[in-house]
Amino acid sequence: LTILGLESSCDDTAAAVVRQSGDSVPEILSSVVHGQTELHSAYGGVVPEIAARAHAEKLDLCVRQALDAAAISLSELDAIAVTAGPGLIGGVMSGVMCAKGIAAATGLPLIGVNHLAGHALTPRLTDQIDYPYLMLLVSGGHCQYLITQGPETFTRLGGTIDDAPGEAFDKTARLLGLPQPGGPSVEAEARAGDPKRFRFPRPLLDRPDCNLSFSGLKTALMRMRDQLVMDQGGLTRQDRADLCAGFQAAVVDTLAEKTRRALAIYMEQRPQHPVVAVAGGVAANTAIRAALESVCADQGALFVAPPLNLCTDNAAMIAYAGLERFRSGKVDGMDLSARPRWPLDQNSPALLGSGK
């Protein structure tokens, strides 16, 4: 099967062609991503209207480039998959309209894909991984533990009750005057810092569930920063590094401990060959990866982290999620609609978690 995928739910316009023969590991024939960072940089965040216009302008080009790079024509495709939510509605609509246009012109089947399912299925795009596996999705907008039982069956064990970790890294960078995106700059500063000088809270660790909270870290950071400014008139390079190190250590500890709990719950279901996979941009963080790897090693689980370009938003994961849906006989009609909200676990057999 050969599928064209489209992604436009946030600030990346992307198209990709993915092929799979039988049960073999799928092949990414092409994956094109046009980011919009510079369009939004002056505003300190993604502006939905600007994003939607940029997607509408770039989608055609992305599709052309993805088909060219894969050296394939529309007539050689089996279906077209598109992110139908959740995300910024204007962007999602642009993608859905583009996919419908191609489907109408070619007669190809149309498949709507949940963006989060795309992230959750990513490890199967690069490795031979069987269901069920535990997925930790950690990105700029999301943070949740999902037992991935099938291409459309997810059990959510818990997740953040407020900010996503990527958002917390970005806010930390903003508060300390470091460049965006905040993740890489905070991680770089933290390398020269002492994680013990400032004591950040470890939110929700006193609760036995798999829920997390990150917004308190930002408040704590703000207080520490303001105190330093009051005491000494400003921040030294070392203060900044120590604050970053303290903040990052709190995120690492929280994710490690909650992962330990999620893994324990999942292992009751799957005691043999347990697998923990991560996706999302925050999975790029070396300290976070190392901590998760060590939790998995302790509990005898295999830790899988896809390459970074597949962890962040891309269309290969959408093409692959569409491929799995198509293989199970599911296609959508021209009435496919764009959905701003679309929780993953609404079809799950058991709802174990709560929160967003």
- From ligand ATP, Fe ion, none, which one binds at residue 284 (CB under 5 to 8 Å depending on kind)? ligand ATP
Using the rule CB under 6 A, is 139 a contact of ligand ATP?
yes
Using the rule CB under 6 A, is 312 a contact of ligand ATP?
yes
Phi, psi of 144 (to 5 degrees): -155, 155
Using the rule CB under 5 A, is 167 a contact of Fe ion?
no
Binding mask 9-48 for ligand ATP (x = CB under 6 A): -x--------------------------------------
Using the rule CB under 6 A, is 141 a contact of ligand ATP?
yes
Residue (313 or 345) nearer to Fe ion, CB: 313
Phi, psi of 155 (to 5 degrees): -115, 120
Region of 75-83, 212-220, 237-245, 280-288 interacting with ligand ATP (CB under 6 A): 280-288
Q: Indicate which single residue of 26, 281, 322, 353 sits in contact with ligand ATP (rule: CB under 6 A).
A: 281
Residue (263 or 284) nearer to ligand ATP, CB: 284
Entry field: residues in the chain: 356
Total residues in contact with ligand ATP, by rule CB under 6 A = 21
Place of tokens 């958002």: 167
Tell me the two tokens of residue 34. 């046009």
Using the rule CB under 6 A, is 193 a contact of ligand ATP?
no
- From Fe ion, ligand ATP, none, which one binds at residue 282 (CB under 5 to 8 Å depending on kind)? ligand ATP
Strands 133-138 and 275-279 turn out to be: parallel
Query: What is the residue-wise DSSP string for 274-330?
Result: -EEEEESGGGG-HHHHHHHHHHHHHHT-EEE---HHHHSS-SHHHHHHHHHHHHTT-
Binding-site positions: 115, 119, 137-141, 170, 183, 187, 285, 313
Phi, psi of 46 (to 5 degrees): -75, 125
**CA 141 and chain centroid, separation:** 7
Using the rule CB under 6 A, is 182 a contact of ligand ATP?
yes
Phi, psi of 226 (to 5 degrees): -65, -35
Q: Indicate which single residue of 7, 187, 313, 332 sits in contact with Fe ion (rule: CB under 5 A).
A: 313
Integer Cα distance of 187 and 310 in angstroms? 20
- From Fe ion, ligand ATP, none, which one binds at residue 166 (CB under 5 to 8 Å depending on kind)? ligand ATP
Integer Cα distance of 183 and 179 in angstroms? 9
Residue (2 or 36) nearer to ligand ATP, CB: 36
355: number of Cβ within 10 Å: 16
* Secondary structure (3-state) at 77: coil
Using the rule CB under 6 A, is 170 a contact of ligand ATP?
yes
Q: Tell me, what amino acid is at 144?
A: Q
| Contacting positions for Fe ion (CB under 5 A) | 313
| Contacting positions for ligand ATP (CB under 6 A) | 10, 139-142, 166-167, 169-170, 181-184, 187, 280-282, 284-285, 312-313
